[in-house]
């Protein structure tokens, strides 16, 4: 038991924290949460420090699991004010790298992957490296496949005469004839800048062409070289024209090998994320002039319950802060980014230093919904799923993934499932005498709730009380259309209900061509129903499989009931209390929260009411219910 001194200390610390939160400015910046030992446990950025930080200390019911745990460990707060959102974004990225806070999403760095570097020196060299230095050099990558990078380097050496030596080619050293040409000069792989046979201006112009090639500007480069070739031919410089012709042929062969994914020749990056449990994998497709140049992937951990849109934002921030590539005209994402994050990214990407043209392009964030562009995002997501599975297999081999959940194994054996039910979705309906019909879908992965993937449905097509029609609509809306693309298909579907609900669920899934096992769990005797089988069966009360199913069913019921109550409260606000002159939705909500129902409000005294909403509005409420409830006189009496 803590003694009184410890309690006073905790109370003082809490009071001090509240003072700091209350005094926060509205400027952009970053905030650092610290625990009782003074360690930084979370770093975040904000457009307005005051509103963002205060959101952590408001209604705890609005916080999901990891954030709720984080708030319980916050003992101190420190902020750094910045002049813009972009500065806050960059500072947040640097601090997370440096401090590695416990509750931040962990993005696995690509430092072990190779880059292509163009050195910053007279007569720059081009080679492969795994170490990025802040020396002014230009880096391209990282490349996830070393073989792909070597083929790019071979292509450059076959088209352009770039030096391969490590000589320090200063103007003075060349003038003093300190070097002699090597074999590369004699086999036409270098023009001999070491002996002054090629000027620095001519060499740098060639390096600019290499950079255009690496940025995917193949067609533009071919047009430029073709124009130069014709100029040389007109001036009777046939040897130079022949060299340019060889370069153009090499570029055309390279362009033919690139996969054409769109016909509009627009530059775009495509981002998608796949996730499982606490891990995720992000993939970006780099498309230039309608051709897929390559892809880059990044792995995340500590992602439990984090919304996919937030993960995408973190992925884009890290990628564009570190990539030296040209920013494209369009950025495709599988889910729409939060407006605040999108604005900060737009400011970052619109920085002229990130563009190689004098005119800054208008960058568009797009979430394609249909057609070829949506298929492109789906292809990116499919690659992310593939690489995530490879990553998880490697983690399992290294012993970094815990053994299978015993309840999942028991469930697989009990129901004779082909695969371990790692992802289970459970449905429940709720209504009040046929009105405000709602349905809920909760999701468990690896035996744990994944609240970011819970969904609720306000059912539209139900007339009266019809549980079968409600179940049909909920399943159709979950497993077709937009949601079917946002969320993966589960390994098992659980219905809160008996034989009828299970059979209608099976029929609906068959119509949608969804082949997933379905079971029902009836409340009264905890009986399990299977489609097409009349008699249910029971599991032992101590079975871990039954306990998991009960948790699923209870969570789906809780989620459905809470949504149903919210709808009823909203309807009550709009139909009754907000009809009172001077009472808006905010005041009506205060009254409902305090008194519990409209009936209790109608019987409250003016003194009781004015403690909640003040004397003037309390008088309006008393007058309204008096007029509504007073006996009406019969006409003519």
Highest mean pLDDT among 158-162, 364-368, 564-568: 364-368
Token pair in block for residue 570:
């909203």
Q: What is the pLDDT of residue 434?
A: 46
Q: What sign does the CA torsion over 389, 391, 392, 394 have?
A: positive
Q: What is the pLDDT of residue 431?
A: 59
Q: Which of 144-148, 248-252, 459-463, 568-572 has the lowest mean pLDDT?
A: 568-572
Highest mean pLDDT among 45-49, 422-426, 431-435: 422-426
Cβ proximity of 421 and 413 under 8 Å: no
pLDDT surpasses 80 at 586: no
Across the chain, mean pLDDT equals: 79
Mean pLDDT of the 577-589 span: 76
pLDDT tens-digit map of 170-187: 888 888 888 888 988 888
Cβ proximity of 125 and 164 under 8 Å: yes
Q: What is the pLDDT of residue 510?
A: 92
Greatest extent of the chain over all pairs of C-alpha atoms, in Å = 124
Residues whose CB falls within 8 Å of the CB of residue 482, separated by 6 or more in sequence, listed in order: 369
Quote the percentage of the chain above a pLDDT of 90: 9
φ/ψ region of 238 (left if φ > 0, alpha if ψ in -120 to 50, else beta) reads: alpha
How many alpha carbons fall within 13 Å on the CB side of residue 448?
Answer: 12
Tell me which residue has tokens 């460990």.
Answer: 73
Q: What is the pLDDT of residue 563?
A: 59
Mean pLDDT of the 574-601 span: 74
Mean pLDDT of the 377-382 span: 87
Q: What is the pLDDT of residue 6?
A: 57
Q: What sign does the CA torsion over 61, 64, 69, 71 have?
A: negative
Give the residue with greater pLDDT, 234 vs 325: 234
pLDDT tens-digit map of 208-254: 888 877 776 666 667 777 877 887 787 787 777 777 777 677 666 65
Identify the structural domains of the chain with CATH numbers, from first to last: 4-104 (3.40.1440.10), 115-259 (no CATH), 268-394 (3.30.420.10), 412-567 (3.30.420.340), 576-629 (1.10.150.20)
Q: What is the dihedral of CA 306, 307, 313, 314, to 10 degrees?
A: 10
Q: What is the pLDDT of residue 113?
A: 66
pLDDT tens-digit map of 265-284: 678 889 999 988 778 899 98
Q: What is the pLDDT of residue 8?
A: 67
Q: What is the pLDDT of residue 463?
A: 63
H-run or E-run covering 375: helix 371-397
Mean pLDDT of the 61-71 span: 71
Q: What is the pLDDT of residue 403?
A: 55
Cα–Cα distances in angstroms (integers) from residue 254 to residues 5, 251, 293, 328, in the given order = 74, 5, 11, 21
pLDDT tens-digit map of 283-299: 988 887 777 777 788 88
Rounded CA gap, 556 and 471, in Å?
13
pLDDT tens-digit map of 432-460: 554 557 788 999 988 888 888 898 887 77
pLDDT surpasses 50 at 99: yes
pLDDT surpasses 60 at 356: no
């Amino acid at each position: 038991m803590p003694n009184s001194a410890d309690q006073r200390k905790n109370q003082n610390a809490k009071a001090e924290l509240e003072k700091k939160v209350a005094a926060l400015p509205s400027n952009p910046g970053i905030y650092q949460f610290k625990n009782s030992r003074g360690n930084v446990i979370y770093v975040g950025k904000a457009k307005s420090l005051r509103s963002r930080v205060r959101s952590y200390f408001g209604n705890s019911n609005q916080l999901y699991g990891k954030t709720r745990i984080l708030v319980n460990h916050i003992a101190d707060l420190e902020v750094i004010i910045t002049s813009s959102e972009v500065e806050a974004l960059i500072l947040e990225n640097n601090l997370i790298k440096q401090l590695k806070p416990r509750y931040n999403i962990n993005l696995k760095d690509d430092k072990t992957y190779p880059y292509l570097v163009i050195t910053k020196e007279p007569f720059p060299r081009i080679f492969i490296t795994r170490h990025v230095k802040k020396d002014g050099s230009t880096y391209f990558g990282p490349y996830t496949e070393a073989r792909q990078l070597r083929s790019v380097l071979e292509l450059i050496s076959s088209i352009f005469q770039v030096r391969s030596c490590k000589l320090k080619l200063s103007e003075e050293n060349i003038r003093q004839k300190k070097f002699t040409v090597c074999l590369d000069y004699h086999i036409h792989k270098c023009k001999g800048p070491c002996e002054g046979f090629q000027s620095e201006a001519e060499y740098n112009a060639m390096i600019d062409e290499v950079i255009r090639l690496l940025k995917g500007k193949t067609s533009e480069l071919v047009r430029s070289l073709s124009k130069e070739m014709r100029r040389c031919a007109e001036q009777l410089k046939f040897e130079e024209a022949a060299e340019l012709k060889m370069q153009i042929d090499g570029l055309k062969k390279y362009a033919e090998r690139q996969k054409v994914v769109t016909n509009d020749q627009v530059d775009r990056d495509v981002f998608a994320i796949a996730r499982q449990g606490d891990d995720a994998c992000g993939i970006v497709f780099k498309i230039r002039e309608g051709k897929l140049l390559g892809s880059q992937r990044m792995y995340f951990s500590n992602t439990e319950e984090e919304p996919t849109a937030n993960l995408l934002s973190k992925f884009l921030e890290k990628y564009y802060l570190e990539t030296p590539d040209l920013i494209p005209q369009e950025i495709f994402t599988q889910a729409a980014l939060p407006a605040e994050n999108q604005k900060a990214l737009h400011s970052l990407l619109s920085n002229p230093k990130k563009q190689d043209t004098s005119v800054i392009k208008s960058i568009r964030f797009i979430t394609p919904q249909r057609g070829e562009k949506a298929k492109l995002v789906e292809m990116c997501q499919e690659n992310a799923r593939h690489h995530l599975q490879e990553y998880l297999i490697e983690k399992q081999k290294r012993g970094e993934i815990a053994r299978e959940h015993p309840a999942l194994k028991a469930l697989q054996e009990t129901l004779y499932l082909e695969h371990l039910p790692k992802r289970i979705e459970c449905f429940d309906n709720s209504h009040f005498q046929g009105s405000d019909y709602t349905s809920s879908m909760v999701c468990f992965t690896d035996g744990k709730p994944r609240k970011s993937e819970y969904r609720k449905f306000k059912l539209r097509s139900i007339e009266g009380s019809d549980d079968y029609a409600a179940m049909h609509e909920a399943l159709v809306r979950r497993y077709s259309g937009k949601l079917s693309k946002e969320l993966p298909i589960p390994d098992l579907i659980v219905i809160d209900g008996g034989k009828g609900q299970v059979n209608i669920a099976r029929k609906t899934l068959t119509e949608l061509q969804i082949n997933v096992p379905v079971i029902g769990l009836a409340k009264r005797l905890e009986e399990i129903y299977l489609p097409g089988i009349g008699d249910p069966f029971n599991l032992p009360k101590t079975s871990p499989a039954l306990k998991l199913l009960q948790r699923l069913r209870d969570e789906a019921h809780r989620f459905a009931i809470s949504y149903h109550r919210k709808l009823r409260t909203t309807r009550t606000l709009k139909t009754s209390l907000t009809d009172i002159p001077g009472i808006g939705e905010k005041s009506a909500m205060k009254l409902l929260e305090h008194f519990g129902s409209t009936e209790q409000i109608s019987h409250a005294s003016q003194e009781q009411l004015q403690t909640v909403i003040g004397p003037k509005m309390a008088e309006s409420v008393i007058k309204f219910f008096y007029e509504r409830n007073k006996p009406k006189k019969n006409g003519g009496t």
